[in-house]
Structure 1
Amino acid sequence: MIFSEAEAGPALADPNGDLLDGVPVVSPLAWNLSYRFPVHHISADFQPHAPDPEPTHLVVYRTRQERIAFLKINAVTQRLLVLLREQSHRSGRDLLNSIALELQHPRPAQLIEAGRSLLDDLRERQILLGTRRQ
């Protein structure tokens, strides 16, 4: 079994920061994972024999209350979480604009508005800690 000694205390981020115009901080207690099988459904009664056509994307995270949680996410959310870790100096708005360009989205402003709600939800779940302190 693997244990993480990482902490997600308030010193790491401003919990009330603007996730669009600030730089969102991903909790060190959140892991963005992708699988070929729906691992979150596997049980004694469900043993898939072939991979799904699309990957299963999950975030596994530990809350401040020491509870382990799982969140099934889509490919766009998965991409956003990858970018948040790889390009940890860019604002949420910049990263969402990058995703809109990658997707060739016809209305980037619409994607950014949906992204605002997504970022807020990720913060509420404690996957995002807030924004980088200045």
Structure 2
Amino acid sequence: MGFIEIQNEFMAHIRKPAINKKPNDIEDRRMAIYRDLFFNNIEGFVSSGFPVLKTLYTDKQWNVLVRQFFSEYDCHSPYFLDIAGEFINYLSSNYKMKKYDPVFMLEIAHYEWVELDVSIAMQNELEKRLKNTDITSASLCLSSLVRNLSYQFPVQNISTSYKPTEPSPQPNYFVVYRDEDDDVQFLATNAMTALLLSIIEASEGSTFDEVCQQVLTHAPQFNAEQIAQGALVTLSAMAERGVIVTKNQD
């Protein structure tokens, strides 16, 4: 048996020891060390990345969930920092929910993961802070350190004592961003703010007037003056936080 075949047999046993036999030339005592080491590392990273989600399960249920991820999902990144993102991909694609899984499982997991995502995001070097006086004249961009999000469930309130069974009457909007001190901040927003930011994100480099014109097509119940006034107040607050920026043209 070649080296690659031995490696594949070794990893197959590590991931699914109940199904795949261990390599013949490795004693079980040593193999057990590897089995525990690999799984415990993955379990530790997943648990630290999703502390709220973990509290919603018994220890046995949680270990089953992580074991399924460990056994069934082929991660696309070799880096430990990417394990949480791979776990999100698994839940949203491969995982079949069980009766005891909360209906908001994927949303609370994503809400927890996005903190890590923003904390390690690389800032675009062309971005620069936007002065309030320049909002109406500069090209507008969403910072690379920002995520504009909405959830069906009130994920910010979920805990062992609050586990909603139905979505909220209205979406729950959030902006997650990294501030000047490199701390991750969560800011609850509303539908209009979410719309403004989504337009800026989708049409990077748009001017204030162009953004307002797009908002008008989505909210015809307001006139152009009302939209411009509201957008200026909102975008001024977002510029102060570094949520919207402009870019150097060099």
More helix by percentage = 2
1:26 aligned to 2:142?
yes
Aligned 8 A contact 1:8 1:64 in 2: no
More strand by share: 1
TM-score normalised by the chain length of structure 2: 0.49
Measured at CA, do residues 106 and 63 of structure 1 come closer, stay the same or move farther in structure 2, by a change above 3 Å?
closer
- For 1:75, the aligned partner's letter is A
Task: List alignment gaps of at least 5 residues for structure 1.
Answer: none
Superimposed CA distance per residue, residues 63-114 of structure 1 (whole angstroms, 9 cap, x where no aligned partner) = 1201111111111111111111111131022111211232113421121011
Distance 1:95 1:12 in 2: 19
Match of 1:118 in 2: 234
Q: Render the CA deviation track for 1:2-44: whole Å, top value 9, x for unaligned.
A: 54341266x4125326112221121111101111101011122
Aligned to 1:62: 178
- 1:1-134 paired onto structure 2 within 5 Å: 1=84, 2-3=116-117, 4-7=120-123, 11-16=126-131, 18-129=134-245, 131-134=246-249
DSSP 3-state at the match of 2:135: coil
3-state SS of paired residue (2:141): strand
Bigger radius of gyration, 1 or 2?
2
Count the aligned residue pairs: 132
**TM-score of the superposition, structure 1-length normalised?**
0.86
Which structure has more relative contact order (CA 8 Å, sep 6+)? It is 1
Structure 2 stretches lacking a partner, 5+ long: 1-83, 85-115
RMSD: 1.9
